[in-house]
Structure 1
Amino acid sequence: MDVSSPKNVPLLLSTAASIAIGVIYLLEIRRAKAEKVLTMKAIMLTRFESYCHSS
């Protein structure tokens, strides 16, 4: 495959775009999981503090 051929430019661009979209998607999944973990930790800490103050 001759990469410099004008016929291959659309294919290369669509491949690069697909890779970029996939990377963004994976990063978003990772961010959402991290956010969920932080939220759960905050809830647990709040409950623990409430328990300590009520005792």
Structure 2
Amino acid sequence: MDKKILLGIGIGLVLGVICMFGYKYTINISDSQIEEKARGLGMIYESENKSIFKGED
């Protein structure tokens, strides 16, 4: 039983790696676009945060 599970996992990994050889990820994104997207998701800088947390330096 264990050998069949390990064999299935191994075959799945090999097939996954073979499929990923043909994948090309060439999307270039600038730093300003990354910051814009992060701010859209709620990112703020420490200097913009006016609260003080006890126990942190």
Q: Same fold (TM over 0.5)?
A: no
- Greater share of residues in helix: 1
| Structure of greater relative contact order (alpha carbons < 8 Å, 6+ residues apart) | 1
Q: TM-score, normalised by structure 1?
A: 0.41
Q: TM-score, normalised by structure 2?
A: 0.40
